[in-house]
Amino acid sequence: MAEDLLLATDAGVVTVRSDAGKWDVTSSSLAGWSVTDVAVSPSGRAFAGTRGDGVWTSDDAGETWQRPNRGRKGPGKVQCVTVDPHNPERVYLGGPMKVITGYGGTSEMQAAVDRGELDGTPACDFSLVQGLFPEWLENDSIVPLYWWDIPISQEWLDALGATQPPNIFDIVSATQEQQDAFQVGEAAEDFIRMFILSDDTPPEILQAWRAAFKATVASPEFVEKAAVAGLNAGYGDPADLEPLLKRAESFTSEGRDFIKYLYGLD
């Protein structure tokens, strides 16, 4: 019985046929693209990862190929393609990732994505995208890859036309200490806008500052203006930060080095 195989090459996809122990090249496609990997789902749909144009799909055994992102160019290099063995409707793409630091906040990172400087961002708040980049939703320009802390809201998924992606640690291999370091780092980011007083500040002054901050972020005027800017601001109690720092003190070099890498501190 004849069997067709799709092979990834630097000159595109090559289809070879095995029949009675003999192999023959029957066709080639995606000429001009360096193809890194090919995967085929149980339904027969083929996925080809490329260096420079994301992933292409084929529903006719590699005879023709289409960009799944409504014909638009894909997000850069794809080094490997894998069909989820538990959900054949989900396909994982692997590519080189580099942590970029130096942007001033969520809005700056999203603007960098919009300019094409970044292929992705961990800061993609629904309300902020609605206000600043509604065309991302209209053009299906963004795809959720994974979540951590809490799943993506159904409102967000409906706007994207997407299903709930996996938790980051369902697709990334990490030791328990690395996972703990990640969680500590993410929780500490909730306190990213810190105001620090000297150690000799009188207790009554300290309490007055804390009460003032709590009242400010809870005031209707502040909440309204923050919502206009697409910000979800709240009060971070130092009592909640202290156990995170204590937890980090127990990390070995593995956990500490992992936090440094995540936040560009190497």
Nearest to 143 by CA among 93, 187, 85: 93
Residues 33 and 30: their CA atoms lie apart, in Å, by 6
Residue 159 lies in a domain: no
Q: Domain end: 58, 78, 94, which one?
A: 94
Residue 123 lies in a domain: no
Query: If pLDDT is split at 50, 70 and 90, which confidence band does 1 have?
Result: low
Q: Domain end: 72, 94, 116, which one?
A: 94
Q: Is 49 helix (H, G, I), strand (E, B) or coil?
A: strand
Residue 221 lies in a domain: yes
Q: What percent of the chain has pLDDT over 90?
A: 15
| 28 in Cβ contact with 17 (< 8 Å) | no
**Residue 69 Cα distances to 19, 79, 189, angstroms:** 36, 18, 33
What pLDDT is recorded for position 145?
Answer: 81
Instruction: Name which of 18-22, 45-49, 141-145 the model is least confident about.
Output: 18-22
Type of residue at 234: G
**Does residue 231 have a pLDDT over 50?**
yes
Q: Domain end: 44, 76, 94, which one?
A: 94
Residue 127 lies in a domain: no
Q: What is the pLDDT of residues 127-141, one digit of tens each?
A: 778 878 889 888 877
What pLDDT is recorded for position 162?
Answer: 83
- In the chain, alpha helices (H): 106-115, 126-132, 134-138, 154-160, 168-171, 176-188, 203-218, 220-228, 238-249, 253-262
pTM of the model: 0.60
Residue 101 lies in a domain: no
CA dihedral 116, 120, 126, 128 (to 10 degrees): -40
Q: What is the pLDDT of residues 161-200, one digit of tens each?
A: 888 888 888 877 889 999 999 988 887 777 767 788 888 9
- The count of domains in the chain is 2
The single-letter DSSP state of residue 238 is H
Residue 167 lies in a domain: no
Residue 116 lies in a domain: no
Q: Is 217 helix (H, G, I), strand (E, B) or coil?
A: helix
For β-strands 22-29 and 55-58, DSSP reports them as unpaired
Over residues 82-88, the mean pLDDT reads 81
Q: What is the pLDDT of residues 27-71, one digit of tens each?
A: 888 888 889 999 998 888 899 998 877 889 999 888 889 887 654
> Which residues lie below 8 Å from residue 94, measured CB to CB, with a gap of 6+?
49, 78, 79, 80, 81, 82
Residue 76 lies in a domain: yes
As given in the structure block, the two tokens for residue 16 are 């070879």
- Domain that residue 71 falls in: 3-94
Residues 70 and 193: their CA atoms lie apart, in Å, by 40
